[in-house]
Amino acid sequence: MGTFRVGLSADFTRPDGSPAFPMFDLTPLNAADRISWDYVPVTDGRIAAEDMAGYDALILLGARFDAQSFPGDGKLSLIARFGVGFDSVDVAACTANDVALVTTPNGVRRPVAVAILTLILALAGKLMAKDRMTRKGPEGWAQRADHMGDGLIGSVLGSVGVGNIGAEMFRMASPLGMRFIAADPYADKDTAAELGIELVELDEVFRQADFVTVNCPLSPATEKLVNADRLAMMKPTAHLINTARGPIVDEAALIAALQSGQIAGAGIDVFEEEPSPADNPLYRMDNVIVTPHALCWTDQCFAGIGADDVAAVLAVSQGEVPVGIVNRGIADSPGWRGKLDRFRSG
């Protein structure tokens, strides 16, 4: 074969065309034989088929890639999603077009777990309230006794999901002296036992936990999994933390629960609509910490994610099966195997 062409979605660039994330090291692609890369336009938030013609692989940041995004030339073999979520990609269409979809669970495991712990500690310590009152000077300092934090020893940390990120969250929280519970029908019982996690029914997580954290993927089964009924099960002193995907939580129900004092507070990094509009009521609540789906974004996070995506591209360009395939059945597909054979022989 000739040159293996790699596209990067154009949301990796700033408006002036310069790289938005310089820690994403593309040196291995530049150094590889037979590989060339450039940016693919993002139009109205998605990748268009006509812009993908001629590409063998795509590294995708935040743009959507739907069933109409696949070019007709049949060359595309790999979509490497920058991160662990893949709700922006039509997975069934990938399989139908003999395209492997990979994500980067290793790159996000520790950064997202750190982000969750950041929100737990900030909410427990009333960090935002104390920051605001300190800036008022002596008047604010006089209010210190009105904003007593919550100790974590003996409190209950609950998780909806105990996979890659959930397990890392519990692992990192182990010195805090909390009790661990989780609900996950696919949980590895040995891992749960090793980490001291009691596996319970989903509703029990909401009833028992002082901090309910959402650590499951978005799917038809999990959309609005955190609804008014489950929020009503929570303790009035409990907090909800969502760093997974916004639509897993019924945002209107969460706003109502916070406004009524049904729950004590929330840490929200993801929203039903992104970017979330400026008039979102969550922005005006003193008992809520909000971040723009970016709390885990660090130089190390993006370097790790980028390295995993580049490794997947290099593997496929050499006819090898990459790590982190979402549509796992593709590995046995004659069409996709044929593409790998062509790259290997080239």
Domain that holds residue 210: 108-290
pLDDT of 47: 98
Q: Based on the fold, state whether residues 239 and 204 are members of the same structural domain.
A: yes
Residue 98 near residue 79, CB atoms below 8 Å = no
Q: Which residues are catalytic?
A: 245, 274, 293
Q: Based on the fold, state whether residues 97 and 137 are members of the same structural domain.
A: no
- How far are the Cα atoms of 35, 37, 229, 294, 346 from residue 3, in angstroms, in the given order? 6, 10, 55, 35, 9
- CA dist 174 and 177 (Å) reads 7
pLDDT of 140: 95
Mean pLDDT, the chain cut into blocks of 10 residues (346 residues total):
92 96 96 96 97 98 97 97 94 97 95 98 96 96 94 98 97 98 96 98 98 96 98 98 98 98 98 97 96 96 97 97 96 95 83
- CA dist 112 and 295 (Å) reads 8
Q: Based on the fold, state whether residues 112 and 153 are members of the same structural domain.
A: yes
Which residue type sits at 263? I
Q: Based on the fold, state whether residues 157 and 210 are members of the same structural domain.
A: yes
Q: Based on the fold, state whether residues 170 and 184 are members of the same structural domain.
A: yes
Task: CATH number of the domain at 234, please.
Answer: 3.40.50.720
Give the residue from 296, 306, 160, 178 showing the smallest Cα distance to 241: 160
Q: Based on the fold, state whether residues 226 and 317 are members of the same structural domain.
A: no
Residue 57's beta-bridge partner residues? 6, 78
Q: Based on the fold, state whether residues 158 and 200 are members of the same structural domain.
A: yes
- Of 245, 272, 290, the position where a domain reaches its end is 290
- CA dist 288 and 271 (Å) reads 13
Report how many domains make up the chain: 2
pLDDT of 344: 87
Using DSSP, state whether 40 is helix, strand or coil: strand
Q: Based on the fold, state whether residues 306 and 341 are members of the same structural domain.
A: yes
pLDDT of 292: 97
Q: Based on the fold, state whether residues 177 and 98 are members of the same structural domain.
A: no
CA 212, 278, 297, 173: dihedral to nearest 10 degrees? -20
- CA dist 60 and 183 (Å) reads 31
pLDDT of 1: 60
Residue 233's beta-bridge partner residues? none
Sign (positive or negative) of CA dihedral 251, 257, 261, 266: negative
